[in-house]
Amino acid sequence: MSTSGPAARTYLVRLGGEVTTKSRRVRQRFQQKLVQNLRDALTAHQVPFRHVENQWSRLLVRGDDSTAGVLRRVFGVQSFSPIEGFAPCQLEQIVRVGTELYHARVQGRRYAVRAHRSGGCSLSAQRVNETLGAALNPGAKVDLDHPDITVHVLMTPQGAMFYHQVIPGPGGLPVGVQGKAVALISGGFDSAVAAWHVLRRGVELHYVFFNLAGAAYQRLVVSVAKVLSDLWSYGYRPELHVVDFEPVVRALRSDVNPKYVQVVLKRLMYRAGCQVAREIDAQALVTGEALGQVSSQTLKNLAAIQPAADLLVLRPLVGLDKEDIIAQSRQVGTYALSCKVQEYCALVPEKPVTAARIEAVDNEEGKLPPGLLAPLVAQRRVLDLRSLDISELVVESIYIDHIPPGAEVVDCRPEYQYEAWHYPGAVNLPLEELIDRFKHLDRQRTYVLYCPFGLQSAAVAEKMQQAGYEAYSFRGGTAALRRWMQQQGIPQDDPLLPDPRD
């Protein structure tokens, strides 16, 4: 048996103990799913030489050096070993190849040989241990209890395979064997880690994000979901459902007692999440709630939020400390992005209720306009995370074709152009000045920048977005802005002046 090409490598992949103790039928299903997920993972990461062979008690994956990085991320893989050599299942051949492979490597170290028999090979494992063990001497010391290096020989009907490393995989169950759920994802440490735990237990996960804070926030959350999708979700195409919740925030602010805003908001998230879940035939919601972590997550508040869900709610982090969750987010790969998300403080009332009574919450929720959620859920955007290119999202969300109410308009042109004409109420911060100073601007506001063509201001808007601001560039620059003003009937103080670009 040999692999093709210099970088080709074969890996022996072991399944988790939980899978191997299942009934034959269940095990077959799990194992087939793992094979399918591994193929999908290798394809998604463009690993060449791929071939996954299902050998019942183990899988053999033929790939190259980069395959190991993929195997670490496919749930259901308990551990794996790069195969260092093959030999026919005969004692002399095993000893010859084993010596060639490991003689130099065991010198001066304590070592052990461990042969394992699998299926029709008649050779005794003990004989292989003794004979190969002796052949690797002299100059090395056999130590079966605390070896520095263990030479493994797996003897199968197809031949013997040699390896010495056993690399841990992520464990868990193959994604997809436990059905489908919807994770409410806010981009913070908790919801991403919660999603990871549920994926790890074999659930096909899709995401719902309620946008409360504009495009820059959305981009970060999409990036977090993309990490979960690209690094941990194989065998299916994860979707991110983006629901515009700004109308909900406005209604909460105007109709609901501020003390109850957080709890009612969570209820609305549960309701909308369940609606999406039902539409895509998912059986549960997943949240990043941890008991007592923030004021809306006291036992009483969780109990007051719970009735809004008519599906099972999974809270995998319920008993974890924040420090542990943050440490896990590094392993998941979402830590850096979630750090940025923390800077968004969307909606924190001064003194939120910590022991909400269900009737009081019902009463507050009842003050909201009926039918508030349905159109927002119906108009949600569904993103295919696998094919999504984050940079496309940047371009799409940098430009704007109107001035939203309450936005701060920034004229990024030189002062003399500003003096000649500017959007009513715009402040003048020429580009270099804006680049130096935007970090001092109020983070709670929305900014629309304009310059002659809208291109340089787009570059600054992008920097501002990366720093967590909601900032846009007016598409098409001053000429387009003037046309838009005309359409809107906004008076221009010098309509006869030539376009400042001329």
Q: Which residues are catalytic?
A: 451
Is 75 a binding residue for ligand ATP by CB under 6 A? The answer is no
**Beta carbon of residue 248, minimum distance to Mg ion (angstroms, whole number):** 19
**Beta carbon of residue 151, minimum distance to ligand ATP (angstroms, whole number):** 46
Q: Give the C-alpha separation, 344 to 231, whole Å.
A: 25
Kindly identify the residues of this chain, within the stretch 245-284, that bind ligand ATP according to CB under 6 A.
Answer: 269
Angle between helices 456-466 and 390-398 (to 10 degrees): 120
Query: Cα-flanking dihedrals φ and ψ of residue 81, to 5°?
Result: -135, 125
Q: Which of 296, 446, 457, 465 binds ligand ATP (CB under 6 A)?
A: 296
Q: Which stretch binds ligand ATP (CB under 6 A): 26-34, 46-54, 289-297, 359-367?
A: 289-297
Is 74 a binding residue for ligand ATP by CB under 6 A? The answer is no
Q: Give the C-alpha separation, 79 to 167, whole Å.
A: 5
Q: Which of 196, 209, 232, 423 binds ligand ATP (CB under 6 A)?
A: 209
Kindly identify the residues of this chain, within the stretch 147-186, that bind ligand ATP according to CB under 6 A.
Answer: 184-186
| Number of residues binding to Mg ion, judged by CB under 5 A | 2
Nearest 5°: CA angle at 75, between 79 and 6?
Answer: 55
Residue closest to ligand ATP, measured at CB: 188
Q: Which of 204, 289, 364, 411 binds ligand ATP (CB under 6 A)?
A: 289
Kindly identify the residues of this chain, within the stretch 274-293, that bind Mg ion according to CB under 5 A.
Answer: 293
- HSE, CB side, 13 Å, CA atoms: give it for residue 276: 30
Q: Give the C-alpha separation, 161 to 142, whole Å.
A: 21
Query: Within 10 A of 190 (CB to CB), how many other CB atoms are there?
Result: 27
Helix/strand/coil percentages in the chain, nearest 5? 45, 20, 40
Nearest 5°: CA angle at 266, between 265 and 268?
Answer: 65
Q: Which of 40, 84, 190, 239 binds Mg ion (CB under 5 A)?
A: 190
Q: Which stretch binds ligand ATP (CB under 6 A): 135-143, 167-175, 275-283, 294-302?
A: 294-302
Q: Is the peptide bond before 138 cis (omega within 30 degrees of 0)?
A: yes
Helix/strand/coil for 393:
helix
**Beta carbon of residue 225, minimum distance to ligand ATP (angstroms, whole number):** 10
β-bridge partners, 13: 59, 80
DSSP 451: -
190 versus 204: smaller Cβ distance to Mg ion? 190
Q: Which stretch binds ligand ATP (CB under 6 A): 88-96, 115-123, 209-217, 228-236?
A: 209-217
Name the site residues for Mg ion (rule: CB under 5 A).
190, 293
Q: What is the contact surface with ligand ATP in residues (CB under 6 A)?
A: 184-186, 188-191, 208-210, 212, 269, 287-289, 293-294, 296-297
